[in-house]
Amino acid sequence: MSAAPLAPAPTGLTAWQRLGRWLYLHPTALLWLCLILPLLWFAGLYLGSLLSLLWQSVFTFDDFTMTVLPDLTLDNYRQLFTPGNLDIVIRTVTMALVVSVADALLAFPIALYMALYASPRIKACFYIGVMLPMWASYIVKAYAWTAILAKDGLLQWILSHLGLEPALLWLLQTPIGGNTLATSHLGRFLVFSYIWLPFMILPIQAALERIPPSLLQAASDLGAKPRQVLTTVLLPLALPGVMAGSIFTFCLTLGDYIIPTLVGPSGLFIGTMVYTQQGAVGNMPLAAAFTLVPLLLIAIYLWFAKRLGAFDAL
Amino acid sequence: MTWAVEFSAVSRHYGKVKAVDKVSLQIEQGEFFSMLGPSGSGKTTCLRLMAGFEQPDLGAVRLSGINAVGLPPYQRDVNTVFQDYALFPHLKVWENVAYGLKIRGMGRGDRMARAEEALAMVALDGYGDRKPAALSGGQRQRVALARALVNRPKVLLLDEPLGALDLKLREQMQSELKRLHRQLGITFVYVTHDQGEALSMSDRVAVFNRGRIEQLDTPQQLYTQPQTPFVARFVGGANVIAAPLAERLTGEARPFALRPEHVHLVHDWQSQPLQVEGVLRQVHYHGAYSRLELDLGKEQTLAVQLPHGEGETVTLPEPGTRLTCGWSRQAMVPLREDGQEDGQGGAP
């Protein structure tokens, strides 16, 4: 850069060409020029809005006048720990965990097949198959499921023809059941697992795709049986993908309010609670405090994952 | 005696492509055996047939006398050093080396000791706690070697292991491999496309072309007594005198190999028993010698190696000059007419 002033001033150039040369000699200036707008957006709107949300969570909500007062308080966070609200958090987190585990179990074999065994043609079919439902409207899919799961709905009809109706009725009597599938925790779990499945398949598939085939051959060459290749090479190397996928499924379940509204028993989720607090009640501070819950949970989750070595392969 | 590796008429086809076509070979215990050939000649497929990554469509593969057809890689007493090293990125260097021992259920303490021992063997002691990503290419290569050797396999398979290294490192690794081979007494099967590497390291070399073995011999025999035009060109960089010209010169209608250093320029006052005339096309100066390429017409080219003696002022002829060359009858090595001429030009 210090050589720039010593260079002979280019003569006979248009202003544009001079600007071009100046920028070529000052790459940092060019970098800032290209980055300043996206960076402003990122810092100001993307992160700033989150910070302002968190800031609101320490405001006071006056129950009597139903207005928000700018008096700082930790009351909203204290409220999270009242039995009713704690219930909501536990209910949501349990669902998020179960959905993440179920999706990981469903997604891994599919991702493994796509990444290591499928021909390019079949792989393309799988890509489309995985993503096609993602492109369809999410609310329509959730509604469709209410019809599938309804009393005497499609699922029950199929099960009754397979002679499995007693099993369904027995399941509905368990704590995860309800009057019908559509109003049971089980039903809600099915819909969540269905909707978020692509978000689990794609990152796992991407992680497995990066494994060179020679690595699997090397393991086998060194004496590992197929099961040992799976546990010592494939799973550890797929783990970052599983983590990425589970962060999607976990966060999306924690924040969702449409599926808990449409499917499953009454009883609020974090998403529906936030919606109620800010929409119907206008208690923005408590809603903001609730949004901190997923943030914290994910941070703890990532910290544990890192401690367990989930990102060692990256 | 039982062979370390034995192929009897082994074939492996991919659709219509015969990657390996009725190959038979026997590798002795403790031998340094190389499989040499251009890419796509079937040498790597043969190695993969030995490792168990491929199964033959026809023929028999025996390892130490045991029929290995249908035997998966993890049940074979062979280990492979892969071309891309194939180190496990999530494991430390010592864990990589000890992987085979862990699979066999060896305790952690013993594993660490054996891994450190194997790392010392390739001069990498003290590197055990690093991740493979923190090593250079040459170091990774040696970790891959240690990981295979720590299991003391009967046969070590090496798939172009030095291909990704620079020249200096490659030469260093060549002598290190030779040292390990002498020291351990394990059978080495070495795949390479570099004829210099194959000739300098091996006890015997199988030259592959189009899925078949063209010649299986000691390095000296391959170099001095090639049997086919392909071997003459690929291994020794020799001229192949095609049958028509050979018939005119010797009366025998078959191809002959002729080494460039056995061809001399003929000046007016001399004569050689066998002489031809050609147009000089290219001159390559190599310091100790120069290499001339002559066009003899009728698609016959001739490479001539011109030594530069002590204190000699080198004046090289200009391209386009007509030159006369000659050589002795003994310099011509008769070749088998195998009808598998691949149309490659003269000597490289």
What pLDDT tens digit does each residue of chain A (314 aa) get? 444 555 555 567 888 999 989 999 999 999 999 999 999 999 988 899 888 888 888 888 887 777 888 888 888 888 888 888 888 889 999 999 999 999 999 999 999 999 999 999 999 999 999 988 888 888 888 889 988 988 888 888 898 888 888 888 888 888 887 788 888 889 999 999 999 999 999 999 999 999 999 999 999 999 999 999 999 999 999 988 998 899 889 888 988 889 998 988 888 888 888 888 887 778 888 888 888 888 888 888 888 888 876 676 55
- The residue-averaged pLDDT of B21-38 equals 93
**Rounded distance, CA B218 to CA A281, Å?**
91
Q: Contact B73/A212, CB-based, under 8 Å?
A: no
Please state, for a pLDDT cut of 90, what percent of chain B lies above it: 56
Min mean pLDDT across A7-16, B50-59, B259-268 is at A7-16
Give residue-wise pLDDT tens across range B320-343.
Answer: 888 888 888 888 899 987 654 444
Q: What is the reported pLDDT for A136?
A: 84
Using CB atoms, pick whichever of B52, B74, B89 lies closest to residue A225: B74
Residue at token pair 């013993």: B110
What per-residue confidence (pLDDT) applies to B268? 63
Q: What is the pLDDT of residues B278-303, one digit of tens each?
A: 899 999 988 888 899 999 888 888 99
Average pLDDT (B172-189) is: 91
Q: What is the residue extent of each domain of chain A? A: 18-51, 75-313
Q: Provide the chain A residues 233-252 that lie in CB contact (below 8 A) with chain B.
A: 233, 236-237
So what's the pLDDT on residue A298?
Answer: 84
Strand duo B155-159 + B187-192: pairing: parallel
Written as six digits, the tokens of B234 are 């690929």
> Distance between the two ends of chain A, CA-based, in angstroms?
35
CB A208 within 8 A of CB A116: yes
Distance in angstroms (rounded) separating the CA atoms of residues B24 and B213: 8
Question: CA A209, CA A204: separation in Å to the nearest integer?
Answer: 8
pLDDT at residue number B343: 42
DSSP reduced 3-state for B279 = strand
Identify the pLDDT of residue B348: 37
A222 at B interface, C-beta within 8 A: yes
Q: Cβ A224–B80 below 8 Å, yes or no?
A: no
Decide yes or no: CATH 2.120.10.90 for domain A75-313.
Answer: no
A237 closest CB neighbour out of B87, B90, B104: B90
List the structure tokens of A24.
Answer: 């070529």
Buried-exposed string A283-301: b where 16+ CB fall within 10 A, e elsewhere: bbbbbbbbbebbeebeeeb
Contact at 8 Å (CB) between B226 and B189?
A: no
Q: Which residues of B touch A217 (CB under 8 A)?
A: 51, 53, 73, 80, 82, 86
Q: What is the DSSP string of B109-176?
A: HHHHHHHHHHHHHTT-TT-TTS-GGGS-HHHHHHHHHHHHHTT--SEEEEESTTTTS-HHHHHHHHHH
* Closest C-alpha among B162, B220, B221, B227 to residue B188: B162
Give A-chain residues touching B147 at CB under 8 angstroms: 222
Token pair recorded at residue A175: 């704590």
For the four alpha carbons of B44, B46, B47 and B49, in that order, the dihedral sign comes to positive
- Taking 60 as the threshold, does the pLDDT of residue B227 lie above it? yes
Chain B nearest CA to A126, separation (Å): 26
Alpha carbon distance A130, A202 (integer Å):
8
State residue B317's pLDDT score: 83
Distance separating alpha carbons of residues B137 and B120, to the nearest angstrom? 18
Which residue has better confidence, B91 or A311?
A: B91
pLDDT score recorded for residue B269: 62
Tokens 């029929």, located at residue: B67
Question: Can you give the pLDDT at residue A314?
Answer: 56
What's the confidence (pLDDT) of residue A77? 87
**Is pLDDT above 50 for B344?**
no
Residues of B in contact with A218 (CB under 8 A): 80, 82, 86-88
The answer to whether residue B148 scores a pLDDT higher than 80 is yes
* Interface test mutation site (partner A, options B90, B131, B154, max chain A beta carbons within 10 A): B90
8 Å CB contact between B13 and B57: yes
Q: Do B100 and A313 touch (CB under 8 A)?
A: no
Q: How far is CA B214 from CA A124, B23, B56, B230, B236, in A?
A: 42, 10, 20, 8, 14
Q: CA dist A170 to A148, A204, A243, A307, B281, Å?
A: 19, 35, 34, 41, 91
Determine the average pLDDT of the residues in B292-317. 83
